[in-house]
Amino acid sequence: MRILRNYFLKEFIGPLCMALGVLTFVMILGNLIKIAELVINKGVDIFSVSRLFISMIPYLFTYTLPISSLVAVLLSLGRLSSDNEIIAIRAAGINMFSLIAPLLIVGTMLSLVLVVFNDKVIPYAHYATRKIMVDIGVKNPTAALEPGVFINSFEKYILFIYRIEEHKMYNVRIYEPQENKPTRTIVAKRGEFLSIPEKKMVKLKLIDGTADEPDPENPANFYKLNFKTYFITLNLANAQKSDKIEKKPKDMTIAELIAMSQKFKRDKIDPTPLLTEMHSKITMAFSCFFFILLGSSLAIITRRREKSVNFGIAFGLIGAYYLLSLAAETLSLQGILPPALAMWLPNIIYAAIGSFLTYRICAS
């Protein structure tokens, strides 16, 4: 029995390491393309880019480790089942659960490691990434901007830029919402940023456009001013000191989320978003265990040796799981279900299916 358990574990660990390495490499490669664009097209210094790249890597393990666990169990047990080794083990009168149990123990250990990782490492890395992006935005504002979306990173102003090429911007729209007054609008054909890093601000130079200016006789109204050159000074919101950037829920540890939610309750503020994020950190980590529980039974039932088929099954299950997670998050944030129940719902569904299939395998 001991030899068989070690054999099962050996068959599982190899594909786990392989899948983890491949998936992490693929995701790193995707980030490298974005990082290279910052250096080549937007002129960000290599030191800032290296810091940004390193801070992004830990976040990948939240996804690659559960996915690798599912892929590994499908590949390893799928091969054993297709080679009729499972049939031979059953014929010897050995209960399958006694051989699957070590894999479930490994899944539990991986989940507990990922809980600590999601609680301690991921928030720190996520917060560090935001701080680095603020520093990049101050030194090289166009590197932190994206064309075709509304940008509200600056105090007072909302920007919309149709096209960005290196340090130049084309077809720029700037909106300045004002309380009890019409929104002020500035339109320019071209623009460029002049960075002032020491003051944590940037100056925007606009060329060839029109600006709404207050009417001296009636400040509530505007008149159109045509300009050849127009300068606006922009302050980065919440970025006067990068070490004092306010933490978002994703930047907080579980203890910080609990403390903040308790403070919200005392202040009569709905803490649902904080509780949703807290339970998300835990449930995502325990997906390792439930993926192995469901995957082990599916691998034995389907009896497919082909890697392509097993990868297809794995990504089908993973896609369904993350869709369920998004639906659960929506149910939680809208108050339809309590956060604890909503965020555990995908795991409960996978646990129920996996337990039923495992029971059928062990009872047959």
d(CA 98, CA 213): 78
Checking if the pLDDT of 209 tops 70, the result is yes
pLDDT of residue 344: 95
Mean pLDDT of the chain: 82
pLDDT of residue 212: 83
d(CA 169, CA 187): 12
Whether residue 149 lies inside any domain: the answer is no
Does residue 56 sit in the same domain as residue 165? no
pLDDT of residue 314: 85
Q: Per mean pLDDT, which range of 79-93, 157-171, 245-259 is the poorest?
A: 79-93
pLDDT of residue 238: 47
Is the distance from CB of 278 to CB of 56 less than 8 angstroms? no
pLDDT tens figures, 2-15: 777 777 788 889 88
Does residue 319 sit in the same domain as residue 266? yes
pLDDT of residue 39: 67
Whether residue 146 lies inside any domain: the answer is no
Does residue 119 sit in the same domain as residue 260? yes
Structural domains in the chain (count): 2
Q: Which two tokens stand for residue 242?
A: 């990068």
Supply the pTM of this predicted model. 0.72
Checking if the pLDDT of 241 tops 60, the result is no
Checking if the pLDDT of 174 tops 90, the result is no
d(CA 60, CA 180): 45
- Phi and psi, residue 213, nearest 5°: -120, 140
d(CA 175, CA 232): 12
User: Which domain range does residue 351 map to?
Assistant: 2-139+253-363
Angle between helix 272-302 and 97-116 (nearest 10): 150
Whether residue 291 lies inside any domain: the answer is yes
Whether residue 245 lies inside any domain: the answer is no
Does residue 258 sit in the same domain as residue 188? no
The last residue of one of the domains, among 235, 263, 285, is 235
Does residue 10 sit in the same domain as residue 130? yes
Whether residue 244 lies inside any domain: the answer is no
Does residue 135 sit in the same domain as residue 219? no
Whether residue 241 lies inside any domain: the answer is no
Proportion of the chain above pLDDT 90, given as a percent: 29
Does residue 202 sit in the same domain as residue 347? no
The last residue of one of the domains, among 187, 209, 235, is 235
pLDDT of residue 239: 46
Neighbours of 123 (CB within 10 A): 23
Whether residue 36 lies inside any domain: the answer is yes
Proportion of the chain above pLDDT 70, given as a percent: 85
Does residue 169 sit in the same domain as residue 285? no
